[in-house]
Structure 1
Amino acid sequence: MSAEIVVEAPGRHRAAPHTPREPGPGEALVRVHAVGICGSDREVYRGDRPEGYVRYPVVPGHEWSGTVERVGAGAPASLAGRKVVGEGFRNCQVCDRCHAGETTLCGAGYEETGFTVPGAMAPTLTLPARLLHVLPEGADLTAAALLEPAACVAAAALKAGARPGERVAVVGTGTLGMLAVQFLRATSPAELLVVGTGREREALARRFGATAFRTRGGEPPGGFDVVVETAGSADAARTAAALPRRGGRLVLTGIPAPGADGLDPTHLVLRQLEVRTVFGAPPAAWAHTVRMFAAGLLDPLPLVTHEVPLSAFARAIALVGSGHPDVGKVLLRP
């Protein structure tokens, strides 16, 4: 019998029988190939995700890839049989922010696959077909399971607006950081610095296009046109804010713990830094990600270190939270 993972409440989960939900009008039913686990999934399991951003019980899973099995009335019939990934934010499409293409700021409130509506830690996922992004026929679906975090990084790269010949830096060497290196490499920077807490990922960072690597601490080099922070800690944000030149661009993608000491506004104002933030990925970022992936400019597969069956959910969550340097992206396979 096929099963799905249900997190009943913080710290409590079970494997429940899975019955595919037939697609309604405008929907598609996707056979899930792989689903990734990230820090926000651990928050759901531990119970420390911010209030309003999870609704129990819930089937987790917002990073996924799969193949469309069938579609409902009004959805394009051509989607059937196609390899796809899908946006997580369930936006209303009618408010002013949605009309502006800023669907992650939807005025109807927060709804997201795997947090407030059923996610992909199940054999199938049914969702609005308009959220799907079609992949090339020969696409590697295991690699494609990382396109959701890649889309969040793409949003950061688009907001950073790096231009050829600029000096750029990435703070953080996790999944988001390594994906950011690949997006920024494609802009042909004069220099691409990666800053981490240790050197475990230096070789991988250089493989993806970094021209320099350093660990946090000491006097930061400074003078960078663009800096993208991906680590999600107050310390990483402070490190990132010290790197841009005066008038430089800083993009924050991580979410520090509430109440963490953050950036000094005087420091930001006097240096006239342009500060942008990212939470989720709008359609333009998804489209950019799929283009990069299809063109071979984005290769997430080396970031995958573990693939385990869906039934090993508890083990996978523990792996992600272990902090072991040999643990990168962990994928579940239904």
Structure 2
Amino acid sequence: MTTGQAVVLDGPGAVRLVPHTPRPPGPGEVLVRVHAAGVCGSDREVYQGNRPEGYVRYPVTPGHEWSGTVAEAGEGVPVALTGRKTVGAGFRNCQVCERCHAGETTLCGAGYEETGFTQPGAMAPTLTLPARLLHLLDDAADLTAAALLEPAACVAAAVLKAQVRAGDKVAVVGAGTLGLLAAQLLRAASPAELLVVGLDAERAQLAEEFGATDYRTPPEAAGLGGYDVVLEAAGSASAARAAARLLRRGGRLVLTGLPAPGAEGLDPGDLVLRQTEVRTVFGAPPAAWAHAVRAFTAGLLAPLPLVTHRLPLTDYEQAIALTGSGDPAIGKVLLHP
């Protein structure tokens, strides 16, 4: 039985809306009724065809940021999950390799598989996936806000690696969705200062609402320094270099962005002489998901103000255009099946 339509990308720019037939959950799986799917820069890469080789497989239904409700449980899955509000991790790790056993599921030795990139995603009325990937929410959870928990989990991974202590001077480079979610999570660690650096002065008020004690554009931040921890969430090599310049000697730099291949990187000599500690993040392991969901449930993470557009799934291409427009007034775009 078909229910509504799903987005299918046969290749870069080749979009179809097709009748959607839910796939019944197999052993260990659940069928989720999708409430919302977020659109981010990675979805734009899939649409344009410039996602790194090996990190997308066409044809594909995109959608790795999502929220929904469990509609059906497969064999071996507790029936009590049915009806629960949920979000879910995207990385389809093997669970048996050395890195998976260490909890580093985003480094799974079996290779890369992820919902919305190599496996069917949530830009469809339903999504079938392993139940082990679910992170359950309270019955009162706002599913629209919860659709941002995937990017929140990614920055939670960075926040956990940042190891901020109360009283630290902290900076975030990037004032998009990732940067502001990072600021909100970092605020909970009680830093003495929390600077957000963003390209657009118009983002200052929103950054302050998300916990920043100061907001600067890159030229305004050029003379600053002495920060104990700097988290980069802008996705460019220039942002990474700017983030490194903000650090004190011996400070900690956490990189979350994925610059274009071949981009000029950080100066190794400078890193060594300044004894800079560099950590990187790609995706979110279970501990980061748990951290984000716990903060969301406790009210420490409130991402709803970042949502500026809610569109029907049929407006997928408009959503992609909005996401890549560069307009500072456009925040997170959500698609609803």
Q: Structure 2-normalised TM-score?
A: 0.98
Over the matched positions of the two proteins, sequence identity in percent amounts to 73
Report SS of the residue matched to 1:13. Answer: strand
Gaps of at least 5 residues in structure 2 are: none
Task: Name the residue aligned to 1:232.
Answer: 235
Deviates more, 1:92-101 or 1:205-214: 205-214
CA distance in 2, matches of 1:307, 1:21: 26
Moved over 3 A (4+): none
The one-letter amino acid of 2:192's match is A
Task: Name the residue aligned to 2:7.
Answer: 5
Task: Name the residue aligned to 1:283.
Answer: 286
RMSD in angstroms over aligned alpha carbons?
0.7
Report SS of the residue matched to 2:308. Answer: strand
Aligned pairs for 1:173-184 (under 5 A) are 173-184=175-186
Aligned pairs for 1:1-334 (under 5 A) are 2-217=4-219, 219-334=222-337
Spell out, residue by residue over 1:300-330, the C-alpha distance to the aligned partner (whole angstroms, 9 max, x if none).
Answer: 1000000000000011111111111211100
Spell out, residue by residue over 1:139-183, the C-alpha distance to the aligned partner (whole angstroms, 9 max, x if none).
Answer: 000000000000000000000000111110000000000000001
Contact 1:101 1:283 in 2 (8 A): yes
Contact 1:220 1:242 in 2 (8 A): no
Spell out, residue by residue over 1:207-226, the C-alpha distance to the aligned partner (whole angstroms, 9 max, x if none).
Answer: 11111111102633111111
The one-letter amino acid of 1:224's match is Y
Q: Structure 1-normalised TM-score?
A: 0.99
Report SS of the residue matched to 2:25. Answer: coil
Contact 1:90 1:113 in 2 (8 A): yes
CA distance in 2, matches of 1:184, 1:315: 33
Q: CA deviation at 1:262?
A: 1.3
Gaps of at least 5 residues in structure 1 are: none
CA distance in 1, matches of 2:205, 2:78: 44
Spell out, residue by residue over 1:48-79, the C-alpha distance to the aligned partner (whole angstroms, 9 max, x if none).
Answer: 00000000000000000000001001112111
CA distance in 1, matches of 2:217, 2:325: 21
Report SS of the residue matched to 2:201. Answer: coil
